[in-house]
Amino acid sequence: MTSEEPKTLSLVRRYTYGVGHVLNDLCASMWFSYLLLFFHQVLKFENNIAGYLMLLGQITDGICTPLIGYESDRKDISCRYGKRKTWHLIGTFCVTCSFVFIFNDCIGCHDDTTSIIKFVYYAPFIVIFQFGWASTQISHLALLPELTSNKSERTELNAIRYAFTIISNILVYTLCLILIDVIMKTSTGNLTPADKPQFMELSFLVVGIGLVFSCIFHIGTRENASIGNRSIQANNQRSKPMRWRCWLKQIQFYQVAMIYMCARLMVNISQVYIPMYLLETLQSNKDSVAIIPLVVYVSSFLASVFVKFVNDHLGRKITYGIGALLILVACVCFYFIHNGKYIYIPTVLLGVGGSTVLVTSLSMTADLINLNTESGAFVYGAMSFTDKLSNGIVIAVIQQFHPCRTCCDKCGRFYREILSFVPGAAAIISLVVLLTLIPVNIGKRDNIVALEDNEDERKALLACAQETNAYIEEDPART
């Protein structure tokens, strides 16, 4: 038996898969970078109301991801189009129809309209958007382990996917910079209600460009769950089927979930609060909210080129540890910087570290799934659940403890501490969890448990096997 399976995908198919998340990435870039900024400084929402809107979105996404994952694994509603691609198509439709309304003025609202009424107006669009975003994300991730069983190729697909995530972020910040600095010629000062047109135009551009790449994905990607298993069958390997209940009995499942959650917290919280940090703490011009995130993601893009090489030579755990340490150093720098000209040092570290931890944590998740692609969408959904819920709760709590309702002199210190302590704490927690994974071979599961050694575990595994067999008998195509 060979230790490494041959590669199965052509270069074209790798890249048509890699662009399948671009619409989500473009929208997520605006969501995390500019949602609070838009509602707080442009629409003049109170800090806690803006935080609750983001929390609503994150909770919706968090609830939808495991449910969509479960449904995607359980039932094919595609009429032979492919169950993963069908959910991807549903998600694309929902994102397209809802996102432009989020970064637009409230239709029918006036200056004296209360924040509660505006909250009720924006809430349905946010719920639809997050449902669609979750559908696209989970179906796209679940498709990856079905395309190939080769670990190196899975890492490469994750790296390509993340490279397009970085390109999407770079594009959003570049377009934002053009709209603010070149077209509107208002790069100085803070954002005001007069900046509404820039965000409206940016949202339309984001959706339009994202739809083009979604079409490329659907045309160029062929869903075939047997592709990743051909080499397995050739080597006479067998993998015990896993239902969603079986995953909940695996310690590795929770360890990898914590690693993934912390990676997302490090990157997303930094992305949300860097614009505030620049405007309120460092008193930078408003074009910095496009320039500095642009530096972060250019650094991420350059780092993503080497992530596969580092993973292959140092392994997942060491690579992730390096990325988390880089982010920790960046957080320390954010705390001590008082001059905007030094901001480029930690932003580069943040970009390199963020790229490293995200690609590696996704690769760890693919390793965890291993050959059990029949329930891969549930695993990705559960990982995303921890990510979305934790991000939403953390941001809502941060906004609740904001020192003032709109803006005041205390904002500068507040955003400095948030950008330093919250991602830094996530980095430390992830390193602690990583230590518990050192003796673990991620993805290896023992299917035989001695009766005399662990009777409870034997019964649990037997129950999982019986449930899985009954599940497969309902529809043999699920295997």
Q: What is the signed CA dihedral for 265, 268, 269, 270, rounded to 10 degrees?
A: 120
Query: Rounded CA gap, 240 and 238, in Å?
Result: 7
| Residue in the block written with tokens 């997520």 | 28
From the first residue on, what is the mean pLDDT of each consecutive set of 10 residues in the chain (479 residues)? Answer: 56 89 92 84 79 86 81 69 86 94 85 82 93 90 80 79 85 84 55 79 93 93 58 45 78 91 92 85 78 86 82 88 95 88 90 90 85 76 84 85 64 87 95 91 60 48 52 44
pTM of this structure: 0.71
What the chain holds in terms of domains, given with CATH numbers, is 12-222+243-443 (1.20.1250.20)
pLDDT for residue 234: 41
pLDDT for residue 248: 83
Helix 344-369 to helix 151-177 angle (10° resolution) is: 140
pLDDT for residue 479: 38
Can you point out the beta strands (E) in 1-77?
none
pLDDT for residue 463: 58
pLDDT for residue 77: 67
Contact (CB, 8 A) for 202 and 176: yes
Q: Cα–Cα–Cα angle for 297, 299, 304, nearest 5°? A: 90
B/e letters for 191-220, b = 16+ CB within 10 Å, e = fewer, are: beeebbebbebbbebbbebbbebbebbbee
Q: Three-state DSSP class for 283?
A: coil
CA-based torsion, 88, 62, 430, 395: positive or negative: positive
Residue 216: both structure tokens together: 């490329």
> pLDDT digits over 449-474, tens only?
333 344 555 555 555 555 544 544 44
